[in-house]
Amino acid sequence: MFALKLAKEAVNAAQDAQGRAGAMQTAFAYHQLSHAHNMQTLGTLIDTRGIMSKNVDYNAKIYDPAKGSTS
């Protein structure tokens, strides 16, 4: 089991050397930016319009912050 843990640490170190940490930080920043965009354009953190679900109202009105109302 110890050898497996060492192998995992070696792989993680190699990935970090290749820029994994920076890539993860960038991906999370884009993720947060997406939430901010959705709040500004839709009035909610998540854009559910593309989710294929029977519980989603595909004709829901979208909040327009510029107008202060839904469209």
The per-residue DSSP string of 11-38 comes to HHHHHHHTTHHHHHHHHHHHHHHHHHHH
Q: Look at residue 25 and tell me whether its pLDDT is greater than 70.
A: yes
- Cβ-contact 61, 71 below 8 angstroms: yes
Percent of the residues in the chain that have a pLDDT greater than 90, as a whole number: 58
Task: Please tell me whether the overall predicted TM-score, pTM, comes out greater than 0.75 for this model.
Answer: no
pLDDT of residue 67: 72
Q: Residue 69: in which H helix or E strand, if any?
A: strand 69-70
Non-local (6+) Cβ contacts of 47 within 8 A are 38
Cα distances from 48 to residues 42, 56, 58, 59, in angstroms, run 10, 7, 8, 11
Q: Look at residue 71 and tell me whether its pLDDT is greater than 60.
A: no
